[in-house]
């Protein structure tokens, strides 16, 4: 009786393990990061400077009854970045869907020294009212470097 219960228990655990391994919506190659998009239009080309530039310290305020965002741009690289320009999309931290997009803004810097930061202020393009904007701790920036070119 003990052997029968043990075999049944191991069979159930094996079935659960098999189900969890094969029921995912992604293949093993996709899980490993080896996904190849169906078309080149789906590939997102990123600037090599993308991994060195960060936008932090975001504050959304109102100046002359218009939304403005104050923020820091940080250069984490050991070299200067000349003519830096980027588009930033702010997302509510809860989810990344079109409904949770807070707004967008762009910025340009003549130069950003190595391992330095600069404080900037830019107009925020948003469809939301000032009181509908999330607090600073609930806003996540997504940066897209447009200059310098690749």
CA 4 to chain centre: 52
Residue with tokens 């997302």: 91
Q: What would the mean pLDDT of 54-82 be, rounded to a whole number?
A: 93
* Dihedral angle of Cα 85, 87, 90, 95, to the nearest 10 degrees: -120
Q: Is the pLDDT of residue 20 over 60?
A: yes
Give the separation between CA 42 and CA 62, rounded to whole angstroms. 37
pLDDT over 70 percentage in the chain? 80
According to DSSP, the residues that pair with 140 across neighbouring strands are 91
Tell the CATH superfamily of the 52-147 domain. Answer: Immunoglobulins (2.60.40.10)
| pLDDT score, position 130 | 86
The closest of 73, 57, 141, 147 to 113, measured between CA atoms, is 73
Total Cβ atoms within 10 A of residue 50: 13
Phi, psi of 5 (to 5 degrees): -65, -40
Task: Identify the band that residue 44 occupies on the pLDDT scale cut at 50, 70 and 90.
Answer: low
Q: What would the mean pLDDT of 7-32 be, rounded to a whole number?
A: 72
User: pLDDT tens digits, residue range 107-120?
Assistant: 999 999 999 999 99
Domain ranges of the chain: 52-147
Residue spans of alpha helices (H) in 2-145: 2-22, 28-31
């Amino acid at each position: 009786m003990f052997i029968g219960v043990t075999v049944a228990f191991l069979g159930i655990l094996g079935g659960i393990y098999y189900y969890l391994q094969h029921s995912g919506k992604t293949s093993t190659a996709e899980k490993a990061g080896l996904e190849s998009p169906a078309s080149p239009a789906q590939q997102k080309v990123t600037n090599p400077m993308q991994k060195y530039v960060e936008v932090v310290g975001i504050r959304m305020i109102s100046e002359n009854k218009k939304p403005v965002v104050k923020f820091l741009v940080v250069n984490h690289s050991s070299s200067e970045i000349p003519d830096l320009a980027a588009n930033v999309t702010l997302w509510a931290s809860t989810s990344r869907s079109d409904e949770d997009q807070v707004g967008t803004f762009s910025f340009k810097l003549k130069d950003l020294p190595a391992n330095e930061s600069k404080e900037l202020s830019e107009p925020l393009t948003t469809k939301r009212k000032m009181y509908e904007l999330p607090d600073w701790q609930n806003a996540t920036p997504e940066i897209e470097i447009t200059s310098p070119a690749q």
